Amino acid sequence: MVSNLWLGVASIIIGYFGKRVINLVQKRKCAGKTPATYYFVGYGNIINVFLPRIPWIFAGHNVEFEAKHKPFAKAGQDIMATFSFVGPQPISIRVADPVAIKHITTSRARFPKPVAAYRLLNVYGENIISTEGDKWKMFRKISAPAFSDRNNRLVWDETVRIVSELFSDVWGDKDSVSVDHAVDVTLPIALLVIGTAGFGKRVSWKEDALAPQGFTHTFKGALHMVSNHTRIKLLVPNWVYRFSKRLDRIRCAFDELELYMKEMIEERIKSEKVERHDLLSALVDSNISEDGGQVMTEDELMGNIFIFLLAGHETTAHTLAFTFALLALYQDEQDRLFIDIQSILADDELPTYSQMPLLTRCMAVFNETLRLFPPVPGIPKFSAEDTILATTDSEGNTVNVPIEKGSACTLAVAAMHYNPKYWKDPHAFNPDRFLDPNWPRDAFLPFSSGARACLGRKFFETEGIAILTMIVSKYKISIKDDPKFAGETFEQKKKRVLQTKYSITLTPVHIPLVFTKRG
C-alpha cells in the first residue's frame, strides 16, 4: 500500500516535470535563434523576492538592476529571452531596445499589463496600477485632472515649508547633522509632503497630538506606519496578524488609515465647494458623474489615493537618497550644483515654483540619478498575440525576434539606461549629459511611457527638485566616516554606499551621511 502511494506520487512528479521539459523545448523552438539565459526558477516567481541571484538556479530579486546591460552585450543584441523551468511564465522576452520599447508602450492592446501580478496592490480597492481595459481608462480619466499645475504649485510650496521646518525645528542650530541612513531624512519629508499635497491634511515635524477618540494612531502616525510597512501588508496573509503584536499594530494602522480616508472623502463630498488643490479633493471632485452620482466606488477612490501615496512617497524618498549619496561621493558635482543654485537664488531667499524651470542643473542631477537608479528596473508586459519585434545586432544588422502569444515581456529599463550605445561611459555619474539638448530621450524610461506613463511624474519632479534645492543651498553633504572602512578606496566606498535591494521599488540599503551647514 505504501509503495503504491509513493509510486503514485513519483508518477505525478515525473509527469509534471516531463510536461515542463516538453513545454520548454517548444518555447525554445518558437523563439528561434533569439539569445537566451536560463534559470531553474525564473522571472515572476514569488520565491525570487526572498532570494539572491544564483546563476542557472534563481533569477533573484534584483536581477534586472544587478545585470544591467551585461547580458545584452554578451548576446550581441538588445532583445533576448529568459527561459525558466519553474515559474508562471516559462519564457520572458526582455527588451532593451528604445525603438522596440516605444512600439510596445504605444501598442497597449497588443502588449497589455499583466494585471494579475498587481492584485496584491488592491489593499483598499482596485486602482490605476492594478487594472487594464475600460476600468483603467475610467480611473485615468478621473485621476489625470488631479495632477494639475495648481497641485504642483501646492507640492512645491508645501515642500519648501516642510524642509524649512526641518532646518528650524529639527536640526536647529547644529553645525552638522549625522544620519545613519539617508532615508531617515528623505522618507519623513516625503511623508509630510504627501500628507498635505495628497490628502489636504497639513502635518508638521513636531506634531504630537493624541489620536482622536476611537483611534489608536494619529493620521500622521497611521500614514507613517502604512508607508513603512506596505511590503509586509502585501506579502503577509491576513490570518497571520493575530499571532504578533507588531503585525497587529500594522494591521491596525492600515484599518485606521482607511477610516481616516473615508472620513475625509465624506467631508469633501458634503462640504461646501472650497478651492482645494490636493489629490484627494481633486479626485473627489472629478469623480462626480453628470447626474451627480459617483463614478468610482469609495473603495476604488481609496485604492487610487493609496497607490499615489505609495508610489509618490517611496519613489521620491529613495531617489533623493541615491541623489544625496552621489553628490556626497562626487563633491565636484555637488559644488557645481551649489554654485548654480546660488546664481538663481538671492542670499537667504526661498526658492519659488516659478524658479523651477531655471534650476536646470538640479533637474540634470535628478535625471542622472534616475538613469543610474531607475525606481523600477524592469517593467512587466505580455504579448496578447503572436508578433515580431525588431532590433539590431552588434554589427548593425536587423534582427527579427518572434514573440509568441502569451509570452511575458519585460521592458529592461536598467539595461537600456546602461547601454553604451546611447550613454557614453554609462556607469559614470555625469549630470552634464542631461544639459545637452540632444540627450537620448527615447533611451530614458524611469516613468514608463505611452498611455501608461506615470501620472505623478511632475508631482515627483517638483517635490524632488524643491528638496534638493533647499538642502544643497544650506548644507554640504558628505559620507559619514566609519573607522571600519578607514582604508577603503573610492571605488570600494562607492560600492558600499550605493548597494541596492529591490522590493516595491529599487531601494538603497545603507547610506550614512553628514549634513554640514554652509558658512
Q: How many CA atoms lie within 13 A of 28 on its CB side?
A: 13
Could you give the CA distance from residue 420 to residue 435 in angstroms, rounded to a whole number? 18
Instruction: Give the length of the chain.
Output: 519
Q: Tell me how far CA of residue 14 lies from CA of 45, 320, 332, 398, in angstroms.
A: 21, 51, 61, 41
| Phi, psi torsion values for 363, nearest 5 degrees | -65, -35
Sign of dihedral through CA atoms 167, 171, 175, 176?
negative
Could you give the CA distance from residue 202 to residue 192 in angstroms, rounded to a whole number? 8
Could you give the CA distance from residue 418 to residue 505 in angstroms, rounded to a whole number? 18
Strand duo 387-392 + 398-403: pairing: antiparallel
Give the three-state DSSP class for 477: strand
The x, y and z cell numbers of residue 387, run together, are 508578433
Give the three-state DSSP class for 501: strand
Strand duo 176-179 + 513-517: pairing: antiparallel
Sign of dihedral through CA atoms 492, 493, 496, 499?
negative
454 annotated ligand-binding residue: yes
Give the three-state DSSP class for 103: helix
Known binding-site residues for heme equal: 454
Binding site, annotated residues: 454
